[in-house]
Amino acid sequence: MRAPPTRSVEKWARYFRRPRYAWFMRNSARFAIALSALLAACSSTESDGSSATIDAAISDAGPNASSSDAAAPADAATISDAAPEFDASAPWNLVSFGITTKDVDTGSNIAIAYGGYTATDEDSQAWITELTRVRLASLGVGRIYAVRGPKDADYSSREIGSSTLAAALAANTSAEKIVVVAHSSGGFVADELFTFASNDVMAKITYFNLDGGSWSMNSAMVAKMRGVTICDAHDPVAGNSENTSSDETLHASLEGSHLYTVDATGSGCNVGAGWCLHDTLIIDKPHDPATYDLALDYTDFTSGRHVVTSYLDQAVIDGTL
């Protein structure tokens, strides 16, 4: 269980209202009564006395204090199925150039979001935060990383600190799954991570390339990962996302990869506006019907707009996430 060294009283109160602690808190009074009765019984019982008095003391504490309930509380199913408590109030911490991180829950899994060309730190941070709040936290993600977009559309400068991120992932032995989501030119940056990542790290990765690029991905890399899904988008009125053709080509070149088309029906994009549809991999209703607008589409999930998560749900069905 990860928890910061200091928290406000309110935060700790929220923490112990979680379902996993709720059973204990509800029954703490019964435990106290039972303990007092047990101590009294022990003090008045001969050293070779019967346990009947002690059994009676436990019974007096109420049915929920029975030994069987202690092993399997009545709401055990609720504990395992409960959605985690999401808290994004912690500050972002610098990992290396272009990469920031923070913990948002006690889950041990990791998620990394790679923004597209020109996406700022804040853009990628807002996107991965919303994606985790809506879906990834329920998949056990507690630590998130945000990677800014490359300064060149083809990432020719190789300026992002990918090797440092690979080392940080290797040092984290508690994570069972690492979800990597890369949009547009962010795919080029994600590829760089894969060239640095150890085999142990690669085996934990489920990768989603969202209408994005690639310069090093190959079938051997795919074989090392939990799963790889290449994603495009289609609106029956507006058409296809900008990189649909290259998405299909990339998928065909990667043995073992999956191809998933996001249903962008009702996107509001103009007919033939491929760059608007390009952002329906991020948000269901992009802000500019003619083209992409990373500053808004990565950050503004209000006014009936929602972060897109359907490719994650499909990966769960496919057994790769």
* Under 8 Å between Cβ of 134 and 167: no
* Residue 215 within a domain: yes
Residues 221 and 277 in one domain: yes
In sign, the C-alpha dihedral spanning 315, 277, 185, 161 is: negative
> Closest by alpha carbon to 234, among 260, 263, 208, 205?
263
What's the full length of the chain, in residues?
321
Residues 73 and 127 in one domain: no
Residue ending a domain, choose from 50, 81, 112: 81
Residues 59 and 123 in one domain: no
* Residue 168 within a domain: yes
Residues 51 and 136 in one domain: no
pLDDT at 84: 56
Phi, psi of 287 (to 5 degrees): -75, -30
What's the CA gap between 147 and 128, in Å, rounded?
10
pLDDT at 86: 87
Domain at 310, CATH number: 3.40.50
228 - beta bridge partners? 207
> Which residue bears the tokens 């990966």?
315
pLDDT at 194: 98
Residues 35 and 182 in one domain: no
Range of the domain at 235: 93-318
Residues 58 and 183 in one domain: no
* Residue 2 within a domain: no
Residues 257 and 169 in one domain: yes
Residue ending a domain, choose from 81, 102, 124: 81
What's the CA gap between 108 and 143, in Å, rounded?
7
232 - beta bridge partners? 261
Domain count, the chain: 2
**Strand 227-235 and strand 205-210: pairing?**
parallel
Amino acid found at 55:
D
Chain Cα centroid distance, residue 139: 6
CB neighbours (10 Å) of residue 294? 22
Residues 48 and 174 in one domain: no
* Residue 1 within a domain: no
Residue ending a domain, choose from 81, 106, 127: 81
* Per-position b or e across 47-72, b if 16+ CB within 10 A of its CB: eeeeeeebeebbeebeeebeeebeee
What's the CA gap between 178 and 222, in Å, rounded?
14
Residues 98 and 75 in one domain: no
Per-residue pLDDT tens digits of the chain, which is 321 residues long? 333 333 333 333 333 333 333 333 334 433 343 444 444 444 443 434 333 332 333 333 333 333 333 332 222 222 233 345 789 999 999 999 999 999 999 899 999 999 999 999 999 999 999 999 999 999 999 999 999 999 999 999 999 999 999 999 999 999 999 999 999 999 999 999 999 999 999 999 999 999 999 999 999 999 999 999 999 999 999 999 999 999 999 999 999 999 999 999 999 999 999 999 999 999 999 999 999 999 999 999 999 999 999 999 999 999 999
Phi, psi of 153 (to 5 degrees): -60, -30
* Residue 11 within a domain: no
Residues 209 and 150 in one domain: yes
* Residue 283 within a domain: yes
Residues 63 and 108 in one domain: no
* Residue 12 within a domain: no
* Residue 49 within a domain: yes
CB neighbours (10 Å) of residue 206? 22
Residues 33 and 152 in one domain: no
Structure tokens at 134: 């809506």
Amino acid found at 154:
D
